[in-house]
Structure 1
Amino acid sequence: MPKDFSWGPANPHPLSKMRTELVWEGKYDEYGNRREVDIAACAMPMQQIETVDEPRQRAAATGNLELFERERVKADDFRNRLIWGDNKLVMASLLKEFKGKIDLIYIDPPFDVGADFTMDVPIGDEKETVGKDQSTLEMVAYRDMWGKGTDSYLHMMFERLTLMKELLSETGSIYIHCDWHMSHFLKGLSLEIFGPENLVNEITWHYYNKMAPDSKCFPRASDRIISFARVAGSHVFQQQYEHRDTPVMQLKRKFIGGKAINVRDEAGAVQYQLKETKRIDDVWRMSMLQPADKTQYLGYRTQKPEILLERIIRASSNEGDLVADFFCGSGTTGAVAERLGRRWIMADLGRFAIHTSRKRLIELQRKLHEEGKSYRAFDVYNLGRYERQWWQKDRLNGAEDEHRRVVLEFFKAEVLGHAPSPLLHGRKAGAFCHVDGIDSIFTRGEARAVAEAVAQAGGREVYCLAWEFEMELRQFALAIEAELGVRMKLIPIPREIMEKNRKNPPPFLEMAVLEAEPVKRKEGKNSSVDVKLTKFLPSLSEVPGKELEALKERAIKSGFDFIDFWAVDFDWQPGQPFHHDWQDYRTRKDRSLKTVSDAGHVYETPGKHTICVKVVDVFGCDNSIAVEVSV
């Protein structure tokens, strides 16, 4: 720069011409260019893994489908979607089909408080007298941690809000729920994305029943809900009203030219009217959900009351509209949308969120069907190997060696520098470790090859870490152990290791032992089939030490206590989604669980059929086995 160079009116400094904006590290690249969301790189096919239409499939299983179809109230115009995965990838993948088609988005994102939220997980039917350490476990519901503090949190939210804007319809709205930690930042961020002209409301939710500790500030008893329209003035909005405690007499008024004018009679006297309702303003006085609430509370700490979502959905959508929640948590948005006749899409990266939502929505399907009310079927999706491929390319530079290193690092295992076999990649506590490929399914053939490599290296034990396992591999591994003397521990790699800035290892849980058998029943000329669970032994390898011994003893004595949900597909086809023909699960009100299905499934064609049994334990891990039956 020349010595006589100076800033001034003839040569204004760049900062003097900057517009008002929120700036964070990562918003601009090294050249000062705005970092945009790489939608093309994030879009990927979704894998349909489950279909859920519980009342219809139960009718089909018992041979009553014709009657169900005649009397049904189920809507067939849309199948709702529950998606497990990073919502950035989920939304980018939805754009091809749903760009400009979602009518309402509500999100309750993590508030960047730098903590893991936990939830109490009950075990068993709670009829026994057991101490708290034995009957509950503190499990991480979702991670409220985004690595490098506010900068990375804002960048994470910028990318996701940008995608949400693309998904919104021209008449759509978005409601962003936040608390005092980040409401100021999120409002500024959203103003930049949606435009100040599209800001509709900043709502205060005052939850008057929250217990607050003594502190040197006024108790915090409110959240903020910021709403934007995709195009202000074109957005859907129905004014909401609430009943007054006591009716009041009010002046009767009408609006002329934007001004309120008193209505008068022919004599010129002002007129009054009795008002039993009042318009709801932007301060909402609603109680928080409390653990004592047996009708709604699911044990999910961040769960919001249904009345809150009901007000939002009634105000900003019409029946049949499409509602989305990409931080769905316990599934409140989908449950309320279903009850109000809206279509819905929900997503979350937490297995607990997906499992909790699935149970809640199945229960709602049953309830609506019993009441003769309309409901829609829903499907469960994930991004499967495509998400892993994206993670390997985006974060690991596409290297398989780096993939194995990261997995072993989170597993707290040592990487082998000079391995005795290409199939052996690490060691942990004297055992070898094998990490399967990121695109692979760990098969019987691979299991035998790994066990033989361990035996040749003089080993007696091996951890087999894989993203997916062939069905019934646990039983095959036990046979290998008896034959070769090598104990094989099958460990599914948790998808949580793909979370950006993840530092603390997630639980690595060994595959559970699951056994089941068909139960044939014959009444006259008619025959039916059910399924009996005969054994379940959960993995307890990551249970806190203070609880481990008590829970091990209980698992051996009554492994079924650790089952939270199980379902049956009576005519499972390999490579096809799991169809929920029957299921049973524990709820907060009813902790009992059947161990024999009562579907009374009737096969239309004789011959051999494959039954798939899916079990989800209290840790949120699912295990499946296939059972053959001949009829």
Structure 2
Amino acid sequence: MKLSPNEIRDICELLQKGKPLPEKYRFLLFGDKRELELVWDGKTDETTSVVLPFQTIEHIDEPRSEKEIKLQQQLFDTAGRQVKGWADKLIWGDNKLIMSSLLYGPLRDEIEAQGGIKLIYIDPPFDVGADFSINLEIGGEEFKKEPSVIEEIAYRDTWGRGADSFLSMIYERLQLMRDLLAEDGSIYVHCDWRVSTHLRLILDELFGNDNHQNEIIWHFVKGASGDDRFGRKHQTIYWYKKSQDGQIFNREAIGVPYSAETLARARRGEARYQVSAEVLEEKGKNPGDVWSDIHPLQGNSIENTGYGTQKPEALLERIIKASSNEGDLVADFFCGAGTTLAVAEKLGRKWIGSDLGRYAIHTYRKRLIDVQRQLKKDGKQYRAFEILNLGVYERQEFVRVDGDIRAEERERIRAEKERKFKEMVLQAYKAEAVQSFRNFVGKKRDRLVAVGPLELPVSQALVEAIVEECRDKGISKADVLGFDFEMGIDFAELRKGGVDVQPKLIPRDVFDKRAIEKGQVKFYDLAFVDAQVTVKGNTVAVELKDFSVFYEQDGIERAEEKLKAGSSRAVIENGQVVKVAMDKDSDIVTREVLTKKWSDWIDYWAVDFDYESKKEVVRDEDGVEEWTGRYIFENEWQSFRTKKNRDLDLTSAFRELPKGRHKIAVKVIDIFGNDTTKVMEVKV
């Protein structure tokens, strides 16, 4: 480091005054001499190393045939369900925390035992106008589900400062992906003109320009063209390998047909062709790095799940075939519509997928069950898959604070943000603040009130801690307020211990000070499910009898104010979906209830006929296994709606059970992806 006396003096003066150093000192003071680097406000080389435990919510496995059970007795139980070997993993939560926990936690050993992750494909949210809203179908009408508060926060974190916040988000995650990849692994990053130049520089920095394999152009033959510029008819896919140790490239698995003219010339024996037309026809040609033969997904496609950024299976099929082998582990940490996972399963690959959206996880669940069913029908092999949460969250993840601030100040700001957030929620809930409790912050009449975190779902661990404190202190009634709740929390079972613990959903309006001041903020109960078990000899079946939800979104009067002549809008009020429409000629507004019956709210339901047969066991960082005291829901029968078939069976098939007492669990998932579980005891 060569600094002149004047430069040393200037640096000292600037530091003493608390002013930033000019850009030139960046290269004079620090030893990292990168020839080319993308720099933005907030860039840091630091990545999280937090390790959070994974909670297994559900185990899903279509039963095998009797023949397959006999051939592989060590893998399957007598019912044909997988009991050993790798189970694919669908994880709900922040992918930064998920990847950090995979990288540094006990699951890393399990991943390495499979040979490591050979391929990562990601299609991150490069469209600054995109959000987490989803179009749903209810009673033959389309309804737009608004994003949850947690999803909105994630969206603001990604795009709140424009490109700077997106680059900070993706930079840290790409570092984690690089470290998760096997040495001979590959990563494919899908983007478009908005961020392609930025991502190329970041990928060169993290993976090295020498490891850049291809810049693939996915060219749309059809598409809109403007009058003021050339039509934007392509997206970019960057392919990098992890290291110089080599990478998988299965040239013969991805050949595309030669033209009829080429094959005809080869058959005529023209000198330029070294092999026969038959060999050319069998092997096909290298598709090159401009792909025009794969078309974007059409709205009427059987693959279409309703996600606007969904990619066609043919695109992922080419990538997965090219850069992985059968039995390899493939990952997608921005699952989108779940296409990577579905194609990986069809091609015999193991997989890990994650997404922040609860409804997205539910969409993948249905899609992957369909894949299992089709593979079973075709006589092909498939694996069980698990749905996981991130379990116990560290307090530092509750409220985010600028990482550049000193630790003491950061902790003070975090505590102050958390305090103000809880004060605001209590005011909206019309509760008074209380002290001297471990988990409670308020009281409303004769009920104590606990408030979940701002950025994360209320966890099973937090609810169990609340119930435990109630028992310790003789408290009989408690409300738990949260923007979202982890999948699989059985409040009915928890209430059997003598504590009336009621979950309440915090509405989006809680951030509207005017709504709080006017007392207009409404908190909603979670859904209620009623089911009945029928016993015939040594067989049982379950019938759904009732289902109630208490959501609200928009409100009828607010929707009517926004209507234009000839337009309509669907809203949720008092637990009903209502279509509000304005006549184009008379301006008369009409209202039509779309949810005609309670079953209209249900999108999916499943039964575990022997609920307490599979304990949830976790391993700590030392590999020590411990039972959490919870059980995993084993999906043994299910019925769900698809875009093609909107019918829903309300009675399960009969299932044979051994004599004795059994606990049967029913899981119902509503049209928004929220789940409710009910456990019933039956004697056979």
| TM-score for both structures, normalised by structure 1 | 0.77
Decide whether the 8 Å contact of 1:555 with 1:562 is kept in 2.
Answer: no
Cα displacement (A) at 1:539: 2.5
The alpha-carbon deviation at position 302 of structure 1 amounts to: 1.4
- 2:588 corresponding residue in structure 1: none
Q: 1:249 to 1:611 in 2, by over 3 A?
A: closer
Residue 602 of structure 1 pairs with residue 602 of structure 2: no
* 2:327 partner letter: G
RMSD of equivalent CA atoms: 4.4
Q: What amino acid maps onto 1:19 in structure 2? A: E
Partner of 1:22: 38
Q: Give the letter aligned to residue 91 of structure 1.
A: M
Q: Structure 1: give runs of 5+ residues left out of the alignment.
A: 29-34, 127-131, 253-262, 455-461, 481-487, 498-505
Q: C-alpha deviations, 1:546-571, integer Å up to 9, x for none? A: 32356278587411111111111111
After superposition, where does 1:433-448 map in structure 2 within 5 Å? 434-436=449-451, 439-441=461-463, 443=467, 446=470
* 1:21 match: secondary structure: coil
Aligned residue type for 1:538:
V
Do the aligned partners of residues 273 and 54 (structure 1) sit closer, same or farther apart at CA in structure 2, a change above 3 Å counting? closer
Cα deviation digits, residues 130-167 of structure 1 (max 9, x gap): xx3xx523343966441322222111111111111111
Q: Secondary structure at the match of 2:63?
A: helix
Is 1:521 matched with 2:545?
no
Match of 1:162 among 155, 175, 196: 175
Look up the match of 1:551: 577
Alignment of 1:316-335 (within 5 A): 316-335=323-342
2: CA distance, partners of 1:384 / 1:272 = 58
1-structure distance, mates of 2:594, 2:177: 44
Partners of 1:6 and 1:443 in 2: CA distance: 61
Quick check: 1:298 aligned with 2:305? yes
Percent of residue pairs bearing the same amino acid type: 38
* Equivalent AA in structure 1 for residue 610 of structure 2: D
The AA in structure 2 aligned to 1:624 is T
Corresponding residue of 1:256: none
Helix, strand or coil for the counterpart of 1:36?
Answer: coil
Q: Does 1:43 align with 2:43?
A: no
Amino acid at match of 1:566: W
Cα 1:280/1:491, change in 2 over 3 Å? same
1:26 Cα offset (Å): 2.0
Task: State how far apart, in whole Å, the 2-side matches of 1:207 and 1:408 are.
Answer: 52
Q: Distance in 2 between matches of 1:517 and 1:400?
A: 47
Equivalent residues in 2 for 1:488-567, closer than 5 Å: 490-492=503-505, 510-522=525-537, 527-542=538-553, 544-545=555-556, 546=559, 547-549=571-573, 551=577, 554=593, 557-567=596-606
Contact kept? 1:104, 1:322, Cα under 8 Å = yes
1:83 alignment partner in structure 2: 91
Secondary structure of the corresponding residue to residue 140 of structure 1: coil
1:152 lines up with 2:165 in the alignment: yes
1:182-211 per-residue CA deviation (whole Å, 9 max, x = no partner) reads 11101110100000000000001112233x
Q: Relative to 1, partners in 2 of residues 1:440 and 1:189: Cα closer, same or farther, differing over 3 Å?
A: same
Deviations 1:433-487 (A, max 9, x none): 8224664215499599999889xxxxxxx7744856553279989x97xxxxxxx
CA contact (8 A) 1:57 1:581 kept: no
The one-character-per-residue Cα deviations of 1:397-423 (angstroms, maximum 9, x if unpaired) are 497885464356479827867559968
The letter for the 1-side match of 2:682 is V
Distance change (3 Å), C-alpha of 1:616 and 1:264: closer
1:332-343 equivalences under 5 Å are 332-343=339-350
**Structure 2 unmatched runs, 5+:** 11-23, 402-409, 454-460, 511-520, 560-570, 579-591, 613-628
Aligned to 1:187, which of 200, 207, 222? 200
Deviation string for 1:351-404 (max 9, x for gaps)?
Answer: 12211111111111111011100111111111122x354513865849788546
1:52 and 1:378 in contact (8 A); partners too? yes
Q: Which amino acid aligns with 1:53?
A: D
Contact 1:518 1:629 in 2 (8 A): yes
**8 Å CA contact 1:121, 1:136 repeated in 2:** yes
Corresponding residue SS for 1:472: helix
Structure 2 CA distance for aligned equivalents of residues 152 and 415 of structure 1: 36
CA deviation profile, 1:23-51 (whole Å, cap 9, x unmatched): 112224xxxxxx32132xx2222111111
Please give the alpha-carbon distance, in whole angstroms, between the structure 2 residues aligned to 1:150 and 1:174: 22
Q: How does 1:372-521 map to 2 (within 5 A)?
A: 372-385=379-392, 387=393, 389-392=395-398, 397=411, 403=418, 405-406=420-421, 409=424, 413=428, 419=434, 425=441, 434-436=449-451, 439-441=461-463, 443=467, 446=470, 464-465=481-482, 467=485, 470-472=490-492, 490-492=503-505, 510-521=525-536
Q: Supply the distance in 1 between the matched residues of 2:7 and 2:662 (Cα, whole angstroms).
A: 88
Query: Take 1:521 and 1:414, find their aligned partners in 2: how far apart are those partners?
Result: 48
1:217 matches 2:224: no
Counterpart-to-counterpart distance in 1, 2:221 and 2:125? 22
2:586 matches 1:586: no
Q: Which residue of 2 aligns with 1:258?
A: none
Q: C-alpha separation between the residues in 2 aligned to 1:412 and 1:323?
A: 47
* Structure 2: distance between partners of 1:556 and 1:71: 38
- Alignment partners' CA distance in 2, 1:350 and 1:82: 12
Give the distance between the partners of 1:242 and 1:544, measured in 2 at CA: 53
Q: What SS is found at the alignment partner of 2:525?
A: coil
Q: Does 1:356 align with 2:363?
A: yes
Q: Which amino acid aligns with 2:290?
A: V
Matched, 1:242 2:256: yes
Structure 2: distance between partners of 1:582 and 1:73: 12
Q: 1:627 to 1:464 in 2, by over 3 A?
A: same
Are 1:52 and 1:579, in contact at CA under 8 Å, matched by a contact in 2? yes
In 1: Cα distance, 2:554 partner to 2:599 partner: 17
Give the whole-Å Cα distance in 1 for the aligned partners of 2:6 and 2:633.
Answer: 74
Equivalent pair of 1:528/1:603 in contact (CA under 8 Å) = yes
8 Å CA contact retained: 2:441, 2:451: no
Alpha carbons 2:57, 2:387 under 8 Å: kept: yes
Query: Are the counterparts in 2 of residues 108 and 177 from structure 1 also a CA contact under 8 Å?
Result: yes
**Is residue 230 from structure 1 mapped to residue 242 from structure 2 by the alignment?**
yes
Between the aligned partners of 2:426 and 2:261, the Cα distance in structure 1 is: 65
Q: Answer whether contact 2:426 2:432 (CA < 8 A) is retained.
A: no
Note if contact 2:661-2:682 (Cα within 8 Å) is conserved in structure 1.
Answer: yes
SS in 2 for 1:519: strand
- Contact 1:584/1:594 (8 A) holds in 2: yes
**2:462 aligned partner, one-letter code:** S
Note if 1:572 corresponds to 2:588.
no
Out of 189, 198, 208, the residue aligned to residue 211 of structure 2 is 198
Q: 1:284 aligns with which of 277, 288, 291?
A: 291
> Could you say if the C-alpha distance between residues 490 and 225 of structure 1 is closer, same or farther in structure 2, counting changes exceeding 3 Å?
same
Distance between the aligned counterparts of 2:651 and 2:66, measured in 1?
15
State the partner residue of 1:121: 136
Query: 1:50, 1:578 within 8 Å by CA — same for their partners in 2?
Result: yes
